[in-house]
């Protein structure tokens, strides 16, 4: 009886423990989310409701408007400067012309203006006399 014997044994144990409690212990600042209850899946979606996108759109619009305003102000300032420069050149040219003719053109302009004013006065007087006679 002297034969050989062989024994092969495998032992697996799995233990699952789920503690279920509906109680919640909270202390301190409670501005977050507290869940209590039995096991189950939770789907959580967090959103800013478009606040970030709106802020970027606002910033882009504000910059665009500011640059448009600045461009308009600069353009108007350059136009005003050009007009001022042209007026200054015209004034300087008239002073030079007056000096070159020793004031003759000024006297001529003055006499012409006086003649036109007197003529207009005479014509107006004649028209008034004709209206009164009728």
Which of 33, 16, 15 is CA-nearest to residue 24? 33
pLDDT tens string 62-96: 999 999 999 989 888 888 888 888 888 888 888 77
| Confidence grade of residue 55 (pLDDT, cut at 50, 70, 90) | very high
Q: Is the pLDDT score of 9 beyond 80?
A: no
Contact 20, 39 (CB under 8 A): yes
pTM comes to: 0.38
How many Cα neighbours within 13 Å face the side chain of 59? 6
State both tokens at 112: 């012409």
State both tokens at 115: 């003649």
Q: Which residues contact 37 (CB under 8 A, 6 or more apart)?
A: 22
Highest mean pLDDT range out of 21-30, 80-89, 122-131? 80-89
Q: Which residue has the higher pLDDT, 15 or 76?
A: 76
Contact 23, 36 (CB under 8 A): yes
């Amino acid at each position: 009886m002297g034969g050989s014997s062989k024994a092969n044994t495998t032992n697996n144990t799995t233990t699952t423990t789920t503690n279920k409690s509906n109680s919640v212990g909270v202390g301190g600042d409670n501005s977050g989310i507290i869940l209590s209850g039995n096991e189950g899946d939770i789907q959580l979606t967090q959103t800013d409701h478009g606040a970030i996108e709106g802020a970027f759109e606002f910033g882009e619009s504000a910059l665009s408007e500011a640059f448009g305003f600045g461009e308009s102000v600069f353009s108007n300032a350059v136009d005003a400067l050009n007009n001022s420069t042209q007026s200054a050149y015209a004034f300087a040219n008239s002073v030079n012309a007056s000096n070159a003719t020793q004031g003759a053109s000024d006297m001529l302009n003055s006499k012409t203006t006086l003649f036109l004013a007197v003529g207009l006065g005479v014509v107006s007087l004649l028209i008034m006399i004709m209206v009164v006679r009728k």
